[in-house]
Amino acid sequence: MDRWKREGLRSANNGLRNQVEQLVDSYEEQQSRLTEIHRELETLRLQAGSSDGSVGATVDANGVLTDLSLTPAALRRTPDELARSIVQATQEAARQARERSEKAAAPVAAALDDEPDLTDILGEGPTLRDIREFFRGP
């Protein structure tokens, strides 16, 4: 192999190495941000009340009911009315939790969109598109 060909291969190798190092650095930064988001979402609690104020529901970041409060007026309602109020308050709190979770993950999803995939650099290899889709949500 002649000197020029070796230099060309070395240059291409260095360019590829730089691209991969930049990609790794970016993903390490995103990992740090994901850790912060995870901590925030672990402690997130959102509250919502029924339209008549007789029921209060608290959910976690996943929309799972963690607390329920009923006023004395709620207990004087029919079972069906009470059930509707509980569902209404819980669904509203879960909606707020979903919005907050999406808002927290949005910067990471956007940053991942700006990054090339390994297949863009190497031509073949594992894809990172699945990770991007995960942060975009359903």
- Would you list the domain boundaries of the chain? 41-104
Token pair recorded at residue 132: 């991007």
Helices 79-114 and 3-43, interaxial angle, to 10°?
A: 160
Indicate the SS3 state at residue 60: strand
pLDDT per residue as tens digits for the range 30-76: 778 888 888 988 999 999 999 999 999 999 999 999 999 999 999 99
Question: Where does residue 47 fall: left (phi above 0), alpha (psi -120 to 50 degrees), or beta otherwise?
Answer: beta
Contact 55, 49 (CB under 8 A): yes
pLDDT grade for 97, boundaries at 50, 70 and 90 = very high
* Residues 6+ positions from 109 with CB-CB distance below 8 Å: 132, 135, 136
Q: What's this model's pTM, rounded to 2 decimal places?
A: 0.65
Please say whether the structural domain 41-104 has been given the CATH code 3.90.870.40: no
